[in-house]
């Protein structure tokens, strides 16, 4: 914001119904307080304002265009709700002097134009198949009205098959859009960013199968609106799976860098993931639950229970490339660790030391983010950051059924982690290499099944730009979790 905007002052008395309010705008804050008791003051930073509009009078006949009411204007804004959410609110002020009204509207609209990162033309993919199959309803009810108020022109594409979103992104010209987004779960988001990175590779003539090459950064930011079953990526980005919060995060236009991890077999790039890449228990859940999709999200509880009872261990060898970076802080809004990485302008030169670990594992998980979700409020890797250039490799040794249950109970609680269990090891890594021995499981890659077992993976620091203001810190007395088995 320029100094001009910082210093400009507006002060007027407006009416809200019959009550008179003193309203002023100074230093990017809109403040109103009632003149008579009960006194109530409200402050809205301009960055939380969605739109400022003249009011329209309802026409008396359907053929008549609604007429502008020159004596009233509305401020549409966002404010903090419960449990890390944002909610929408609005206030309409009236004044007998039309000049007062138009001066406020003009000034505030001018100030809003300074937020140049706010998207104007959004291409939004809706997956009608994921989660409880309500993604379209979610968009119609929570997304569309807010985007309309904010003046975001949204083009909606409803996906009709698996991988269609990825194919559309790769094969169509997206020059008319300044952002892309989706309503869906982790698999839908994965299609979106896999498509964007491959498109950029095509454009720049880069071979995506060459692991030693830096992958190009897509130039379109992405918006993530939860509409799947687990919605772990949305939860980690926004701190909640509340849809209104996700939509407001797109409208605000604030962005952050998200690491992606590219996974290869011997010859080619298999896929990029943003959340978790998991072998053994969670790989089996992805594989067996896909056949029970008709059950909705509860398929994960059902398959999870069956797999835990079977307590299968898988032998394998894993090598991790680690730098001597300390683990121990959580990733919240305005994360210092992630912003330092951004400033370093990471060039993916992965220096560090390779460590090799062998054994029989109940589960091997590479977590690019904490993988928290509604059912696992801390996630399997609570200290994994959105954009610090590292993944956390969580190794769960094959052990007793009781220990597996201890692990799962810990995962579902908001007051405990898994890192102090003696059969769990966590390694911070920039690269990993896995080789399966004898009996083989599958990999679960952001919820999608990957059948190749012997793989290599490499973190691509802040390859993706996503709309979010980040997840605020959880208050001590806030309860976010429930108790059921979790997919991640």
Ligand X SMILES: Nc1ncnc2c1ncn2[C@@H]1O[C@H](COP(=O)(O)OP(=O)(O)OP(=O)(O)O)[C@@H](O)[C@H]1O
Strands of 167-295 (E only): list them: 179-184, 222-226, 255-264, 269-273, 276-280
Residues 6+ apart with CB under 8 A from 367: 275, 276, 379, 380, 381, 384, 391, 392, 393, 394, 488
**Distance of alpha carbon 198 from alpha carbon 201, whole angstroms:** 5
- Kindly state the smallest distance separating residue 373's Cβ from ligand X, in Å: 8
Cβ closest to ligand X, residue 36 vs residue 161? 161
| One of 104, 129, 264, 362 touching ligand X (CB under 6 A) | 129
- Under the criterion CB under 6 A, does residue 316 sit at the interface with ligand X? no
Burial of 2 (0-12, 13-18, 19+ CB in 10 A): exposed
Q: Locate 286 and state its tokens.
A: 């992805």
- Under the criterion CB under 6 A, does residue 441 sit at the interface with ligand X? no
- Under the criterion CB under 6 A, does residue 28 sit at the interface with ligand X? no
| One of 47, 186, 259, 374 touching ligand X (CB under 6 A) | 186
Give backbone dihedrals phi and psi of 485, rounded to 5 degrees, phi first.
-65, 150
Strands 179-184 and 121-126: what pairing?
A: parallel
Site string for ligand X, 196-235 (x = CB under 6 A): --------------------------------xxxx----
- Kindly state the smallest distance separating residue 455's Cβ from ligand X, in Å: 19
Residue with tokens 């950029």: 200
The DSSP-derived string for 321-365 is EE--PPP-----TT-HHHHHHHHTT------SEEEEEEEEEEEEE
Site string for ligand X, 146-185 (x = CB under 6 A): -------------xxxxx--------------------xx
- Kindly state the smallest distance separating residue 73's Cβ from ligand X, in Å: 40
Cβ closest to ligand X, residue 302 vs residue 423? 302
- Kindly state the smallest distance separating residue 481's Cβ from ligand X, in Å: 17
Kindly state the number of chain residues that form the binding site for ligand X, as judged by CB under 6 A: 22
Cβ closest to ligand X, residue 258 vs residue 395? 258
- Under the criterion CB under 6 A, does residue 379 sit at the interface with ligand X? no
Q: Which residues is 464 bridged to in the sheet?
A: 258
- Under the criterion CB under 6 A, does residue 374 sit at the interface with ligand X? no
Interface residues toward ligand X, by CB under 6 A: 127-131, 159-163, 184-188, 191, 228-231, 447-448
């Amino acid at each position: 914001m320029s100094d001009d905007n910082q210093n400009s002052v507006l002060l007027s008395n407006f009416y809200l119904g019959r009550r008179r309010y003193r309203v002023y705008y100074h230093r990017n804050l809109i403040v109103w307080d009632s003149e008579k008791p009960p006194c109530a003051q409200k402050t809205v930073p301009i960055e939380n304002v969605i739109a400022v509009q003249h009011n329209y009078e309802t026409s008396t006949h359907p053929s008549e265009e609604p007429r502008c009411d020159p004596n009233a204007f509305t401020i549409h804004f966002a404010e903090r709700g419960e449990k890390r959410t944002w909610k929408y609110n609005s206030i309409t002020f009236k004044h007998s002097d039309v000049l007062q009204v138009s001066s406020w509207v003009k000034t505030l609209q001018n100030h809003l134009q300074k937020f140049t990162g706010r998207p104007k033309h959004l291409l939004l993919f809706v997956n009608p198949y994921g989660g409880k199959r309500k993604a379209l309803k979610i968009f119609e009810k929570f997304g569309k009205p807010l985007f309309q108020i904010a003046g975001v022109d949204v083009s909606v594409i409803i996906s009709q098959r698996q991988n269609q979103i990825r194919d559309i992104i790769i094969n169509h010209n997206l020059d008319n859009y300044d952002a892309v987004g989706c309503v869906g779960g982790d698999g839908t988001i994965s299609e979106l960013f896999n498509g964007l990175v491959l498109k950029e590779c095509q454009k720049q003539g880069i071979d995506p199968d060459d692991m030693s090459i830096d992958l190009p950064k897509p130039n379109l930011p992405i918006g993530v609106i939860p509409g799947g079953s687990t919605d772990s990526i949305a939860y980690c980005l926004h701190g909640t799976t509340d849809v209104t919060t996700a939509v407001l995060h797109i409208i605000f236009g604030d962005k952050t860098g998200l690491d992606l991890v590219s996974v290869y077999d011997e010859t080619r790039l298999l896929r990029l993931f943003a959340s978790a890449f998991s072998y053994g228990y969670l790989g089996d859940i992805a594989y067996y639950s896909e056949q029970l999709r008709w059950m909705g999200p509860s398929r994960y509880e059902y398959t999870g229970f069956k797999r835990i009872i079977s307590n299968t261990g898988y032998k394998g060898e894993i090598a991790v490339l680690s730098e001597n970076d300390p683990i121990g802080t959580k990733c919240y809004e305005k994360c210092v660790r992630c912003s330092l990485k951004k400033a370093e302008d990471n060039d993916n030169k992965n220096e560090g030391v390779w460590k090799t670990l062998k054994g029989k594992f109940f589960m091997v998980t590479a977590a690019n983010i904490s993988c928290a979700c509604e059912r696992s409020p801390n996630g399997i890797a609570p200290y994994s950051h959105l954009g610090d250039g590292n993944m956390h490799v969580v190794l769960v040794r094959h052990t007793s059924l009781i220990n597996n249950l201890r692990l799962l109970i810990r995962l579902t609680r908001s007051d405990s982690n898994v890192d102090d269990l003696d059969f769990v090891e966590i390694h911070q890594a920039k690269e990993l290499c896995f080789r399966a021995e004898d009996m083989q499981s599958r990999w679960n890659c952001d919820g999608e099944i990957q059948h190749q077992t012997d793989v290599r993976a490499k973190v691509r620091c802040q390859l993706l730009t996503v709309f979010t203001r980040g997840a605020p810190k959880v208050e001590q007395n806030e309860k976010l979790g429930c108790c059921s088995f979790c997919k991640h």
